[in-house]
Chain A
């Protein structure tokens, strides 16, 4: 840090993590210049409803806004929306925006999130991705019109969108290359159950199947997808939900580690005075003894809080050691999970019965409990497992 407390803090990315960083800085008493830079023109809004209430039309666009204008104004921000950051120089401590503005900083929080991974034909009319409010509004208008939707990729995002489209009466095909959707993330048991849930709701789920290309009209509008089994599925709209890329291009040449997102230490620090938080940040989580990049809503807020505190008070820095949490809503089923499930070595049914659509699964990595997931169970059932994960409980002592 430069001598003394920071006077100028720049936060790049005006979504959940960026807003949470800004709010924490103010709450902790930072009264210097606080600039919040965002690529999108919208006031900070929330993404989880975009594949849920917004897509079904249950919510209007105003309802995804994260803070009321008055609450936002009270933060006294130098808010720069619609002007992305284009470069970072860590030696002069300057962020440059695409309009040429140079913003000097004592402290910087990088919160630029991720964007959808695209397939070669993603620019074709009728082909959608789902990340931003504008994406969601475009897709919502198409869903409202009815018709046939093909969703490419049965991760949580694709599965939620497929569910929303089904609930609006669309004919939905969900195409997934893996034999069991989501198995790598939550295990075969849960993946199999969710696949059945979608089939029961009338989704045509094609597993172990790749999309090899699309068909179009002569005018170039998408009319369907070609599959690896040689068949073609006609569609009025196609949603591509095949993962994401961290938004780090603007940081090229900055000297930061950009291997998979912005590489950070256990304090969420990427360089002196530079912190990263949210979907874009890969940091070392001492609780699990591994580096991780987590694309979940609560982690974005929590990590931004931790980063902001560490930035303001480097002498009292605390490692960021969360038990990650996520939820997903599919039809009337709520899935909730704590921990680091990816790479688990064992998943065991603990409570309930998949046949009733209510159950709890615990996950082991090495000798300890590293995760727990509940489907349709009351929250009380899951909470002790969060504690077990947070305290590094041995698997054999957990039952």
Chain B
């Protein structure tokens, strides 16, 4: 499973960091940064949560 983020869409809410702190971080402006674009299986639930919660619809999960 691969995670894609669309940085120009990001609104810096940080909801993804709350949902999956090992996978997402924010830069100084709050914009999403990926820590791991191929998250471990035990992180998948958190990533799905982040996809669902992102108020900018800026995160996608891609099955490989």
The residues of A with any CB-CB pair to B shorter than 8 Å are 20, 23-24, 27, 46, 48, 66-67, 71, 297-298, 301-302, 305, 325, 327, 329, 334, 336, 378-380, 383
Contact = CB atoms under 8 A, between A and B. Distances in A.
Contact of A46 (B13, B29, B57): B57
A246 to B, nearest CB: 21
A383 B14 contact: yes
B57 A327 contact: no
A317 B52 CA distance: 20
Interface of B, secondary structure class, is loop
B53 interface: yes
A71 B4 CA distance: 14
A329 B12 CA distance: 11
Interface in B47-64: 48-49, 52-53, 55-57, 60
Interface string B23-35: 0001011100000
A279 B22 CA distance: 31
Contacts of B13: 298, 325, 327, 336
Contacts of A67: 57
Contact of B12 (A20, A46, A66, A334): A334
A98 B64 CA distance: 42
Interface string B9-23: 001111100000000
B62 to A, nearest CB: 10
B41 to A, nearest CB: 15
A27 B48 contact: yes
A46 B56 CA distance: 8
A379 B55 contact: no
Contact of A48 (B12, B28, B55): B55
11 contacts: A23-B52, A297-B55, A298-B15, A298-B53, A302-B53, A325-B13, A327-B11, A329-B11, A378-B28, A379-B12, A379-B30
Contacts of B52: 20, 23-24, 27, 301, 305
Nearest to A71: B60
A305 B26 CA distance: 24
Contacts of B29: 378
A27 B61 CA distance: 13
Interface of B: 11-15, 26, 28-30, 48-49, 52-53, 55-57, 60
A-B residue pairs, 8 tightest by C-beta = A379-B30, A297-B55, A298-B55, A379-B14, A378-B28, A379-B26, A66-B57, A301-B53
A336 B52 CA distance: 20
A23 B60 CA distance: 13
Contact of A334 (B30, B49, B55, B57): B30
Given A48-B11, A336-B13, A378 B30 contact: yes
Nearest to A27: B48
A327 B12 contact: yes
Contacts of B30: 334, 336, 378-379
Contacts of A325: 13, 15
Contacts of A336: 12-13, 30
A27 B15 CA distance: 19
Contacts of B48: 27
Contacts of B28: 378
A301 B48 CA distance: 13
A279 to B, nearest CB: 14
A378 B30 CA distance: 6
Contacts of A327: 11-13, 55
A372 B28 CA distance: 19
Contacts of B26: 379-380
Given A27-B52, A298-B53, A336-B12, 4 more contacts: A23-B52, A46-B56, A302-B53, A305-B53
Contacts of A380: 26
Nearest to A301: B53
A24 B48 CA distance: 10
Contacts of B11: 48, 327, 329, 334
A329 B13 CA distance: 12
A298 B11 CA distance: 12
Contacts of B49: 305
B51 to A, nearest CB: 9
